[in-house]
Amino acid sequence: MRLSRLLLAGCVLLPGPLAAQDGDALRARLGITTVPVTREGGTSPAVSISTPTGYGADGGLAFAGVGFQERTRYTNVRDAAAVVGFGVGDSRRLLGLEVAATTYSLGRRHAPGKVGSVTFKLHRLLPADFAVAAGVENVAHWGDTDAGRSPYAALSRLFVLNDDPRRRFGALVLSAGVGGGRFRSEDDVQAQRHRASPFGSAALFIAEPVTVVADWTGQDLAVGTSFLPFQHVPLVFTPALADLTRRAGDGPRFILGVGYGLRYRTPF
């Protein structure tokens, strides 16, 4: 599976989408979404591990984070990446735009900022607790990276399971989408077939603020949990296991995302 170029980008001798991990998986694990489950103004735990959802950052929300994986696919090499981003607009009224920049291969081949990419995502909150998004990962990149473009569209829905969704098993978020690039199956990547593949995720809010998440990336399955360890600090930890079904890669791997969200006043 491709958890995104989050933790690798250009560090192994495999075709890009098989070898690399990109910052979009990291962004998914940072809990930067506007899922309306936590208290007003609060930060949600992540609702996917490495795939896009219909949610995104609006104007007034910025985020930063780091990601780590114990080894990259087909190697025993550890790697890490970092991401910073912000939102523009209002997804409740019209559209939100999320912009993020990722730097790859921290502490290994490159200094921070030497290799990276920029990603854009348009998103909209809809009636009946739906959300929709479309974006292109790695629209622009710099340095020695194999981070190719990955266009996608995603739809999410929030299901409230309890009168107070912040209680135990209070809410469920389901997401599904289709995309190219990193979302293609490993067979398609190896055969250089450029066709879209489905992806999706399911996140159950088991307590406030903790989710358990299952994620099909288009290549393989990842399962993990996401939580905020400090009540008044918007710091999100998301440990997970990737490539569990062995449909891609060479066996399960441990991955971790740690992110921080910051709200600020906008001039509009």
Structural domain includes residue 74 = yes
Structural domain includes residue 1 = no
Distance CA 115, CA 109 (A): 9
Structural domain includes residue 198 = yes
pLDDT at 191 over 90: no
Structural domain includes residue 11 = no
Which is more confidently placed, 64 or 18? 64
pLDDT at 28 over 60: no
Structural domain includes residue 48 = yes
pTM of the complete model:
0.83
Residue ranges making up the domain that contains 220: 16-263
pLDDT at 266 over 90: no
Would you state the structure tokens that stand for residue 39, as one six-digit string?
């208290």
Cα dihedral sign, 217-223-228-229 = negative
Q: How many domains does the chain have?
A: 1
Structural domain includes residue 177 = yes
Structural domain includes residue 5 = no
Domain with 199 in it: what CATH number?
2.40.160
Taking Cα atoms as reference points, which of 183, 141, 167 lies closest to residue 28?
183
Structural domain includes residue 10 = no
Q: For the segment 64-106, what is each residue's pLDDT rounded down to a tens digit?
A: 988 888 888 888 888 888 899 999 999 999 999 999 999 887 7
Burial class (CB in 10 A: 0-12, 13-18, 19+), 88: middle
For residues 175-197, one letter each, b for 16 or more C-beta atoms within 10 angstroms of the residue's C-beta and e for the rest, the string is bbbbbbbbbbbbebbeeeeeebb
